[in-house]
Amino acid sequence: MQLYKELNILEDKKLYNKINLFSLVILVITTVAVLLPHLIILKELNFSFSISSYFWVLGIFLIFLPIHEFIHGIFFKAFSKSGKKIKYGFSKGMLYASNPGEFYTKWQFVIIILAPFLLNSILFFLLSMFGLDSTVLWIVFILHTTGCAGDFWYIYEMIKNPAITHCEDTPVGVKFFVS
């Protein structure tokens, strides 16, 4: 197996800025994707938002950050051959789950990366079914999706470089390999 490309999000300023810009694009796209169907189906936007909604948004969002990392961790563990303990931590203002030293196939890595976005989005939907304020949950959905920018960037790299066959999570980003 040969190293193909390494991403160092923490130290590569250019990449860091690119991903930040990318997250703004995702913010706009997700907001439009939420608002447009509302406008088309309901012909108006009747979101109810009060001061307490702010706290609900903040509270639910903060609860779902560790859940997001925990879901990454579950899948890191599920596909792990070594059975090593998954590392959880907090670095540069970000929570993380990590399993450095372990190699995953591209498809395992795609699942590890996308699982939190998919599962949490389903959870937001279920919470709204169970009566939680849907405006609050739509905003949390938009924020959470925006927060997945780094995850989506990995997927973008794998699509752009189809030669990649294996991936290793590192403390600062990811290493891509070709076999």
Q: For Zn ion, give the closer residue by CB, 95 or 127.
A: 95
Cβ atoms < 10 Å from Cβ of 159: 10
Cβ-closest position to Zn ion: 151
Total chain residues near Zn ion (CB under 5 A): 1
| 151 part of the interface to Zn ion, by CB under 5 A | yes
Give min distance, CB of 50 to Zn ion, in A.
Answer: 30
Rounded distance, CA 75 to CA 154, Å?
Answer: 16
| 169 part of the interface to Zn ion, by CB under 5 A | no
Q: For Zn ion, give the closer residue by CB, 36 or 63.
A: 63
The first and second tokens of residue 139, run together, are 């905003």
Q: For Zn ion, give the closer residue by CB, 10 or 35.
A: 10
Return the range that interacts with Zn ion (CB under 5 A); candidates 29-37, 88-96, 99-107, 148-156: 148-156
- What are the helix (H) ranges across the chain? 13-42, 51-78, 106-129, 134-147, 149-160
All residues at 6 or more sequence positions from 11 whose CB lies less than 8 Å from its CB, including other chains:
172
Interface ranges with Zn ion (CB under 5 A): 151
